[in-house]
Structure 1
Amino acid sequence: MTTTDSLAPHLVPAVECLLAARRGGKRPDALPEGARPADWAEVYAILDTVQRKLGPVAAWKVGAPSPDAEPARSAITAATLHEGPARLPASAFNVIGMEAELAYRFATPLPPRDEPYTEEEVAAAIASIHPAIEIIDTRYAAWGVVDKLSAAADQMSHGALIVGPALTDWRRVRPLEQPVSLRIDGREPFETVGGNSAGDPMRMLVWMANTGARAFGGLQAGTIVTTGSTSGTIFTEPGRRTVASFPGVGEVEVVVA
Structure 2
Amino acid sequence: MAENHSSPTSSLILARTLHVVRQGDAPPIISLPPHLLPDSEEAAYEVQNHLASLGGPVRGWKVGASSSVSEPSAAPLHAETLFSDGVILPADFFNHRGVEAEIAYRFDKAVGPDLSADAILSAVGSVHPAIEVVDTRFIEPGCQSRLTHMADQQNHGALILGPAYSDWRNFDPAQEKFVMRIDHHRVSEKVGGNAVNDLTRLLVWLANHASKRGLPIEAGTVVTTGSLSGAFFVPHRTHVSVQFNTLGTVTAFLE
TM-score with structure 2 length normalisation? 0.93
Maintained 8 Å contact 1:112/1:209? no
SS at 2:165 equivalent = coil
CA distance in 2: counterparts of 1:7 and 1:60, whole angstroms: 30
Q: Which amino acid aligns with 2:175?
A: E
CA distance in 1, matches of 2:219, 2:202: 17
Contact kept in structure 2, 1:106 and 1:126, CA below 8 Å? yes
Instruction: Give the equivalent residue in structure 2 for 1:157.
Output: 155
Q: Show the counterpart of 1:76.
A: 77
How many Å apart are 1:10 and its aligned residue?
A: 3.0
Aligned match of 2:22: 22
Output the amino acid matched with 2:112.
P
CA RMSD of aligned residues (A): 1.8
* Unaligned runs of at least 5 residues, structure 2: none
Where does residue 142 of structure 1 map in the other structure?
A: 140
Match of 1:97 in 2: 98
CA distance in 2, matches of 1:6, 1:111: 35
Which residue is 1:200 aligned to? 198
Equivalent pair of 2:12/2:50 in contact (CA under 8 Å): no
1:216 is paired with a residue whose SS is coil
8 Å CA contact 2:83, 2:158 repeated in 1: yes
- Equivalent residue for 1:10? 10
Secondary structure of 1:94's partner? coil
**How many residue pairs get matched?**
250
1:99 partner SS:
strand
- Contact 2:179–2:186 under 8 Å retained in 1: no
Q: Following superposition, which runs of at least 4 residues in structure 1 exceed 3 angstroms of deviation? A: 5-8
Structure 1-normalised TM-score? Answer: 0.92
Give the SS at the match of 1:161.
Answer: strand
Counterparts of residues 99-248 of structure 1 (less than 5 Å): 99-113=100-114, 116-118=115-117, 120-248=118-246
How many percent identity over aligned positions? 36
The unaligned stretches of length 5 or more in structure 1 are: none
